[in-house]
Amino acid sequence: MNAPIANPARTNPGMDEETFEQFAEQLQRYVRERLIPAEKDVIENDRVPEDILNEMREMGLFGISVPQEYGGAGLNTRQYARVVNIMSYAAPAFRSIFSINIGMFASALKNGGTEAQRQEWYPKLIEGRIACFGLTEPGSGSDSAAMQTTAVPDPDGNGWILNGSKRYITNAPHADVALIMARTEKEALPKNAHVSAFIVPMDTPGISTGSPDKKMGQAGSHISDIMLDDVKVPGDALLGGETGQGFRFAMQSLDNGRISVGAAATAYARRALDSALRYANERKAFGEPIARFQLIQAMLADSETEIYAAECMMKDVTERVDRGENTIAKAAAFKVFASEMCGRVVDRVVQIYGGAGYLAEYDAERFYRDARIYRIYEGTTQILQLQIAKHMLREWEKVHG
């Protein structure tokens, strides 16, 4: 089968490479010198400190993927993933607070927004307004056919009235704007054409959020329900100005989200392994560091091998995106492998720590809890396995059918 042909119109050179490398080096220092020392504060108070949020805004992190012509840094996908990867070496909350902005929300504007919507919302993202992405519901996640949130024409004007609820929405408790998926038709063809997307400011009358959910890990990163009760939005809130395109925009945006999660899981696995290396060289048993024991070395080596594989996948899939290739299956594959890999690595790290790995005073226990969600959000491993297989079967049918 021939390799996919790049679409020159979609090729994204991104930021000048020398400038980007300088920025990446600065960001690595910031993560190690500023964010990692602040992790204790994040964990104890379950929030990212406001002074750090302001620093991240001043660094332009909330708008790094916004095109340069709109005032953003204009990073391409490879550079965007590198930034996410660098930031994700620290506590997950630091990535979580800006990841929706630069991933799914900015991507939806780029892929499906009108020029007026881009002119309005790109500057707000750049200045650090926080976005959230409203797809999942109490009775539906990846199954758009079960979506219950509705948007009906406002009889008093040219706008829309939204009713329904969304669940597990990252950043919802403190977001300034939401991209809400809603049913505009009972059913429609082609498949999923009954779903449309709406840009909804979170201070719109009728919107409310639940209390932040208590979670297994990822302190400082907040999720909650969003309730929509007769929420009136103007006609220009409809993403792209056209109904029936919401699910397509959402799925295109989720590619970026899945790359972000894969990059984050890869970085957190690296952080956990670095911690295990340090501990194995400091902890002694039978008169020598446990790092000298062959079975400890085997766990270290297996972890390094898997992290390296995920790093290579990240580089490959993001370069393919920037060449304009269709990467739905490869983005899913990267997210599956990286998230599952991270789970295996943090499990080994707990084992290397031994009894100390089960105690909250050591980092290994936190790494273990934090990493578990990577295999669930932005598409569970099982949903993505189905997506990858369907893509494979369609490609086989094209060749052999």
Q: What are phi and psi of 167, to 5 degrees?
A: -125, 150
Active site residue 378: yes
Angle at Cα 25 formed by Cα 21 and Cα 30, nearest 5°? 145
Q: What are phi and psi of 230, to 5 degrees?
A: 50, 50
Find out whether 280 and 301 touch, Cβ atoms under 8 Å. no
| SS3 (DSSP) at 270 | helix
Q: Tokens 């400038």 — which residue?
A: 19
Please tell me the number of Cα atoms within 13 Å of 394 on its side-chain side: 8
Q: What are phi and psi of 178, to 5 degrees?
A: -130, 145
Cα gap 352→330, rounded to integer Å: 32
Angle at Cα 33 formed by Cα 28 and Cα 34, nearest 5°? 100
Q: Tokens 């079967």 — which residue?
A: 393
H-state helical runs in 115-173: 115-126
Q: What are phi and psi of 320, to 5 degrees?
A: -65, -40
Determine which one of 18, 365, 378, 397 is catalytic: 378
Q: What are phi and psi of 398, to 5 degrees?
A: -60, -35
Query: What's the Cα-to-Cα distance from 255 to each of 115, 239, 247, 260, rounded to whole Å?
Result: 22, 18, 13, 9
Beta strands 195-201 and 207-209 are: unpaired
**Which one, of 353, 372, 375, lies nearest residue 300 by Cα?**
353
| SS3 (DSSP) at 178 | strand
Crossing angle, helix 92-100 and helix 77-87, to 10 degrees?
150
Helix or strand run (H / E) with residue 213? none
Q: What positions carry a catalytic annotation?
A: 378
